[in-house]
């Protein structure tokens, strides 16, 4: 397997955290250019960052004739992270480190969020960067995604979580609206970054969130608001039918919102649905 390795330190000042600057697209990185991988990677990441609900998740696969691994370095809450992405392996958009994931990690750092002793599940983990940080912040974390993405997450778990903490991490396949009932309904936290991306999945995502949560559950969703995918409708119309949905952080230049969500009591839901 040909490999292209990137490196870059992602330590942000408090001011940069507050303004949402210095995300992965802003950091200087160096990439081995064997076989023109530098140009291919730039083209792929441009495609990924401009993606909307009409873009096929297989769009990027033709850009890379040979699969390769690309790594980036970050630091959040004092924890250095080395995150690998598997390009050209039919992972589609799951090979990207989404800006929303970095914004959510920065939010945890900015607000000094602790998951110590708490039961956490992450939906659409992708590279696992958010779930891995939650483990390092004390949580017992289940990271979930489609079956073909799990090896990427498992690699990043083994690279970034010390063996003494690894018993607090689990990687599982979860298909929204299908096998969510196999999971418990008592999580303290549910995490998701850029999982609100196509209206076709909104009913399945809602069904999954409703099953996994109870009234004390706190849900953090970081979402890039894209034209054409009705993401605003999801947060402002669909979610409030079942959940309290509060905008707690916004990165204006990235058009990314962080929402803190909690389940409505049964009486309140009945009143809203009447």
Query: What CA–CA distance (Å, rounded) separates 87 from 69?
Result: 6
Q: What angle do CA 207, 212, 218 make, to 5 degrees?
A: 110
Q: Which domain holds residue 137?
A: 6-273
Residue 169 lies in a domain: yes
List per-residue pLDDT tens for the chain, 274 residues long.
333 333 333 333 333 333 333 443 333 333 333 445 445 445 555 554 554 433 333 334 434 444 557 889 999 999 999 998 876 656 555 557 889 999 999 999 999 999 999 999 999 999 999 999 999 999 999 999 999 899 999 999 999 999 999 999 999 999 999 999 999 999 999 999 999 988 889 999 999 999 999 999 999 999 999 877 778 889 999 999 999 999 999 999 999 999 999 999 854 444 444 4
Residue 44 lies in a domain: yes
Per the CB < 8 A criterion, the answer to whether 45 and 55 are in contact is: no
DSSP 124: S
Residue 245 lies in a domain: yes
Backbone angles phi, psi at 181, to 5 degrees: -70, -10
Give the CATH number, domain containing residue 163.
3.40.50.150
Local structure of 135: helix, strand or coil: helix
Count structural domains, the chain. Answer: 1
Query: What CA–CA distance (Å, rounded) separates 35 from 159?
Result: 27
Residue 97 lies in a domain: yes
Query: What CA–CA distance (Å, rounded) separates 71 from 60?
Result: 17
User: Is the torsion defined by CA of 194, 153, 136, 10 positive or negative?
Assistant: negative
Residue 1 lies in a domain: no
Chain segment 220-246, per-residue pLDDT in tens = 999 999 877 778 889 999 999 999 999
Residues in CB range of 52: below 8 A, 6 or more apart: 197, 226, 227, 228, 229
Per the CB < 8 A criterion, the answer to whether 260 and 219 are in contact is: yes
Q: What's the predicted TM-score (pTM) here?
A: 0.75
> What are the DSSP calls for 141-176, one per residue?
EEEEE-GGGHHHHHHHHHHHS-TTTGGGEEEEE--T
Residue 75 lies in a domain: yes
Query: What CA–CA distance (Å, rounded) separates 109 from 246?
Result: 19
């Amino acid at each position: 397997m040909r490999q292209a390795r990137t490196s870059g330190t992602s330590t942000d000042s408090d001011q940069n955290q507050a303004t949402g600057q210095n995300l992965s697209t802003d950091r200087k990185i160096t990439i081995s250019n064997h076989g023109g991988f530098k140009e291919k990677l730039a083209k792929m990441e441009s495609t990924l960052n401009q993606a909307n609900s009409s873009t096929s998740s297989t769009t990027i696969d033709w850009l890379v004739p040979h699969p390769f691994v690309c790594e980036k370095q970050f630091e959040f809450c004092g924890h250095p992270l080395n995150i690998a992405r598997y390009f050209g392996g039919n992972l589609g958009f799951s090979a990207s480190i989404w800006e929303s994931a970095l914004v959510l990690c920065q939010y945890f750092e900015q607000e000094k969020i602790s998951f110590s002793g708490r039961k956490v599940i992450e939906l659409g983990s992708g590279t696992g960067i958010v779930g891995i940080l939650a483990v390092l912040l004390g949580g017992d974390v289940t990271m979930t995604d489609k079956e073909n993405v799990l090896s990427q997450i498992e690699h990043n778990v083994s690279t970034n979580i010390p063996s003494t903490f690894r018993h607090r991490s689990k990687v599982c396949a979860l298909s929204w609206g299908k096998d969510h009932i196999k999971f418990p309904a008592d999580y303290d936290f549910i995490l998701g970054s850029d999982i609100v991306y196509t209206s076709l999945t909104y009913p399945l995502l809602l069904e999954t969130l409703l099953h996994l949560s109870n009234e004390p559950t706190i849900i953090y969703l970081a979402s890039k608001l894209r034209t054409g995918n009705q993401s605003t409708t999801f947060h402002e119309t669909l979610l409030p039918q079942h959940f309290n949905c509060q905008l707690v952080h916004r990165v204006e230049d990235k058009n990314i919102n962080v929402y803190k969500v909690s389940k409505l009591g049964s009486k309140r839901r009945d009143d809203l649905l009447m």
